[in-house]
Amino acid sequence: MIVNSERALALYCPACQGIQDHVFSIFEISKYPRHLQCSCGFVQGHIRRLEKHYELDLLSVAGDRIRLLYSLREFLFLPLVAILEPQSGQEVGYLGHPYEVEEAAFLLGDEWEYSDVQIDLDEFVNPQVMHRVLEKLQELAENDRIKCGCEHPSVGVDIYADKVELVCSFCGSAVLIGGTTRKDQERIARITEIVMEPSSHAFLEERLKPLV
């Protein structure tokens, strides 16, 4: 049996509020703590090997230190393990095969965005419409229906009081989606896929005309 020795961790960083991937070989993990440093410079924690476990020392979303133990099976072989904060049960990251971790982290990133939104719902110009818009976008994202046509699509979501902006961080392409009127709500309800054009700035309204 061939075991792929490459493993990955995706961890929420309380300092920059981003998600940092760490890819490593299982052979690199020893009893000496391996520091997990985010690209922002912040040290998120460490991993090390104990007798029969692997120890992950981390900071929670709230910034509290947490210590988690994983069995060899979990740490070395399972394709995907959600890393949960023991007290709240909140997901703070993933461990597993690099591919699975990357996929899961992408969705997790969305969840964080949306959980912020729940708290700030009152700040929207029209909370009901905005809620529909965000729900729809989440559904599209989960089904891989939000894309950019550029070489390395990486679409993120910026949420404002009256609109949502989808931005591709690779090519800078952006799409604005209104979130205030009944029309906005009807428009988004009809969308089955959003394919962004590389580096062009357009309103979703214009983009959707042929579909309507």
- Interface residues with Zn ion (CB under 5 A) are 13, 15-16, 38, 40, 42, 148, 150, 153, 168, 170-171, 173
Given the complex with Zn ion, which of 40 and 161 has the nearer CB atom? 40
* DSSP E strand stretches across 3-64: 6-12, 19-25, 34-37, 43-49, 53-59
Tokens representing 117? 């939104």
Question: Min. distance of Cβ 12 from Zn ion in angstroms?
Answer: 9
Residues 6+ apart with CB under 8 A from 120: none
Residue 150 to residues 167, 170, 176, 197, Cα–Cα distance (Å): 12, 8, 18, 7
- How far is it, in rounded angstroms, from Cα 203 to Cα 200? 10
Given the complex with Zn ion, which of 37 and 180 has the nearer CB atom? 37
Given the complex with Zn ion, which of 18 and 98 has the nearer CB atom? 18
Written in H, E and C, the secondary structure of 164-176 is EEEEECCCCCEEE
Question: Min. distance of Cβ 24 from Zn ion in angstroms?
Answer: 18
Given the complex with Zn ion, which of 86 and 172 has the nearer CB atom? 172
Question: Min. distance of Cβ 152 from Zn ion in angstroms?
Answer: 7
Question: Min. distance of Cβ 17 from Zn ion in angstroms?
Answer: 8
Helix (H, G, I), strand (E, B) or coil at 7: strand
Given the complex with Zn ion, which of 117 and 168 has the nearer CB atom? 168
Question: Min. distance of Cβ 93 from Zn ion in angstroms?
Answer: 12
